[in-house]
Amino acid sequence: MTQLAEAGFDELRGALEGTVIGPGDDGYDDARRLWNAQYDRRPAVIARVRTAEDVSAAVRFGVARGLEIAVRGGSHSMSGASSVDDGLMIDLSEMNQVTVDVDARRARVGGGALLRDLDTATQAHGLAVPAGMISHTGVGGLTLGGGMGWLTRQHGLSIDNLESVRIVTADGSILRAAEDENPDLFWAVRGGGGNFGVVTEFEFRLHEAGPMINYGLLFWGLDQGGDMLRLARELIPGLPPKFSVVPACLNAPPAPFVPEQHHFQPGYGLVVVGFGTPEEHAEVLERIRGTLPPLFEFASPMPYVALQQSLDEANDWGHYCYEKGLYLEDFTDGAIEVITEHVPKKTSPMSAVLFYRLDHAYSEVDDDANAFGGGRTDRYVMFAIAQTPVPETQAAEVAWARAFWDALQPHAINIGTYINGMTESDDARIRATFGPKYDRLVEIKRKYDPDNVFHRNANINP
């Protein structure tokens, strides 16, 4: 297959405005590198595209030659799906333009843009798109799976704020999908992942946010985990949506505000982000302190873009990563018992467990409005992230995450999981995640990708 691709390089080069990179070309190793160091894939050819027409030509080229196709946006795929051995990688990284229409409160975002590209452009006008929490994440992969973060309680998922997409389908067609054009495809791409084509442009609605927000981090030791989670159970659901609070099981950072004796020590934290007034934020922090005094804390106003970058270093390129996720209706006593039993068993200080609260705007969207594979009732989504700096220690952390996930299953909402947190996407879990929507997704997949060209994802098999 590699030889077949190499024979057609000149043809592909001639068809693209962008760049074609092969194994013998300068920059090949950098171009094929993935965020998750666990995966070391060697594509037969990389098409670094610049336009929708480039994407169309690359898709036609790959299909005509029987090459397996992978699509790379931000390269944050936990399962390494952004690349492929001996196939074609379509690299969207140069399609990272963001255009903001302030009056219409709309942003047009290239399919290869990162969250930092989106945030920089929109925050220049005090506006934002609800998106993820790590700024070097790709907008495309995040959005197609749902997209959740600090603004979800106020404005829903990324897909709930999507107006239209421009997409290249498996036959190379360039289509617009929106409520008024190809509405079946528009429904499917909002939560159905990368199953239906390569999105080259997203059009989002924008909301006021920032430019300054109020930030607080409070930290407790391992022996206080149950108390912290019970505090979170009582506190978080009652807060107005202008607050976003993330309970986290993590190691204390070696930051200046952390007393030296706590550096790298495991424990439990609450990240409290307020989009209201400093006084309202201070009142919530005081309620927390008054109930459960922390070992240490940090509180300060900060730019929204700094909030969006606050987890970047801990989730930087080059680590060995694995993830398990599920939904919890609440921090029940049984769930807390499992969490506090398993958190101390992790051995890597880089591993962490995060819980996002999903309610208010998230729950106000009709479950059938789009293909998102998670119910719209109030809940938490859990991410157990096993992360190590070297491969030798990864197996133990993966085993920890799997055992933790297994033990928490009896307390979970049994509808699969968020597909962006699905490292292992077997058919049974995908069906469970999409539930009654699965058959509709299959029909749309048959219409736009009957040969399953785009299958390196949480795959809907036609």
**Residue 380 banded pLDDT, cuts 50, 70, 90:** very high
Q: Encode pLDDT of 338-375 as tens digits.
A: 999 999 999 999 999 999 999 999 999 999 999 999 89
For 57-90, b/e burial (b = at least 16 CB within 10 A) is bbbbbbbebebbbbbbbbbbbbbbbbbbebbbbb
| pLDDT higher at 432 or 274 | 274
pLDDT of residue 424: 82
376 and 347, same domain (yes or no)? yes
More confidently predicted of 425 and 36: 36
Same domain, 349 and 366: yes
Whether residues 252 and 344 fall in one domain = yes
Both 152 and 65 in a single domain? no
DSSP for 68-123 reads -EEEESS---TTSTT--TTSEEEE-TT---EEEETTTTEEEEETT-BHHHHHHHHH
406 has a pLDDT exceeding 90: yes
pLDDT value at residue 1: 42
Find all residues with CB under 8 Å of 66, minimum gap 6, and list them.
Answer: 1, 4
Parent domain of 40: 2-91
Q: pLDDT digit string (tens) for 103-126?
A: 999 999 999 999 999 999 999 999
Tell me, yes or no, whether 374 and 262 share the same domain. Answer: yes
Q: What single-letter DSSP state applies at residue 263? A: T
- Which of 191, 209, 227 is at the close of a domain? 209
For residue range 131-171, list pLDDT tens digits in order. 999 999 999 999 999 999 999 999 999 999 999 999 999 99
Q: Determine, yes or no, domain membership for 460.
A: no
Pairing of strands 198-205, 207-208: unpaired
Asked, for residue 243, whether it belongs to a domain, the answer is yes
CATH at 17: 3.30.43.10
To which H or E segment does residue 363 belong? helix 361-364
Residue 198 in domain: yes
pLDDT of residue 421: 84
- Determine the Cα–Cα distance for residues 242 and 244; give it in Å rounded to an integer: 7
Tell me what the mean pLDDT of segment 378-396 comes to. Answer: 97
Query: What would the mean pLDDT of 401-409 be, rounded to a whole number?
Result: 97
Would the pLDDT of 49 be above 70?
Answer: yes
Buried b (16+ CB within 10 A) or exposed e, 213-223: bbbbbbbbeee
**DSSP output for 267-302:** EEEEEEEESS-HHHHHHHHHHHHHHS--SEEEEEEE
User: Do 224 and 161 fall into the same domain?
Assistant: no
The last residue of a domain, from among 91, 124, 156: 91
Q: Looking at the domain assignment, is residue 352 inside a domain?
A: yes
Whether residue 196 is predicted with pLDDT greater than 50 in this model: the reply is yes
Q: What is the mean pLDDT of the chain?
A: 96
Which positions ≥6 away from 448 have C-beta within 8 Å?
169, 170, 185, 188, 196, 197
Read off the pLDDT of each residue in 418-432 and give the average, rounded to a whole number: 87
| Residue 167: how many other CB atoms lie within 10 Å | 25
Considering the domain boundaries, does residue 75 fall inside one?
A: yes
Q: Domain total for the chain?
A: 3
Please check whether residues 218 and 281 belong to one and the same domain. Answer: yes
Q: List the one residue out of 117, 207, 211 whose CA is nearest residue 158.
A: 207
Q: What is the reported pLDDT for 4?
A: 46
Nearest to 245 by CA among 291, 214, 199: 214
Kindly list the distances between the CA atom of residue 136 and the CA atoms of 34, 54, 107, 132, 432, in Å, as whole numbers in the listed order: 12, 24, 19, 10, 30
CATH number, position 367: 3.40.462.20
* Structure confidence at residue 422 (pLDDT): 85
The two tokens of residue 449 are 């990708």
Residue 242 falls inside a structural domain: yes
Strands, E assignment, 187-280: 198-205, 207-208, 212-221, 243-251, 266-274
Residues 102 and 196 in one domain: yes
The percent of residues in the chain predicted with pLDDT above 70, rounded, is 98
Question: Does 105 lie in the same domain as 202?
Answer: yes
Q: Are residue 258 and residue 315 in the same domain, yes or no?
A: yes
Tell the burial category of 264 from Cβ atoms under 10 Å away from its Cβ (0-12, 13-18, 19+).
exposed
* 264 and 227 within one domain: yes
> What is the model's pLDDT at position 207?
98
Last residue of a domain, one of 148, 179, 209: 209
Please tell me the distance from the alpha carbon of residue 43 to that of residue 6, in angstroms, as a whole number.
11
CB contact at 8 A, 272 and 284: yes
* pTM of the shown model: 0.95
pLDDT band at 7 (very low <50, low <70, confident <90, very high): low
Q: What is the largest CA-CA distance in the chain?
A: 70
Give the Cα separation of 316 and 318 in Å (integer).
Answer: 7
Q: For position 187, which CATH number holds?
A: 3.30.465.10
The DSSP symbol for 209 reads -
- Indicate if the pLDDT at residue 3 is higher than 50: no
Q: Say yes or no: 54 and 21 in one domain.
A: yes
Instruction: Classify residue 182 by its DSSP letter.
Output: S
Q: Quick check: is 416 in a domain? A: yes
Q: Which pLDDT tens digit goes with each residue over 231-260?
A: 999 999 999 999 999 999 999 999 999 999
Residue 315 within a domain: yes
Q: Amino acid identity, residue 345?
A: K
Q: How far apart are the first and last CA of the chain?
A: 24
Report the share of the chain in percent with pLDDT over 90. Answer: 94
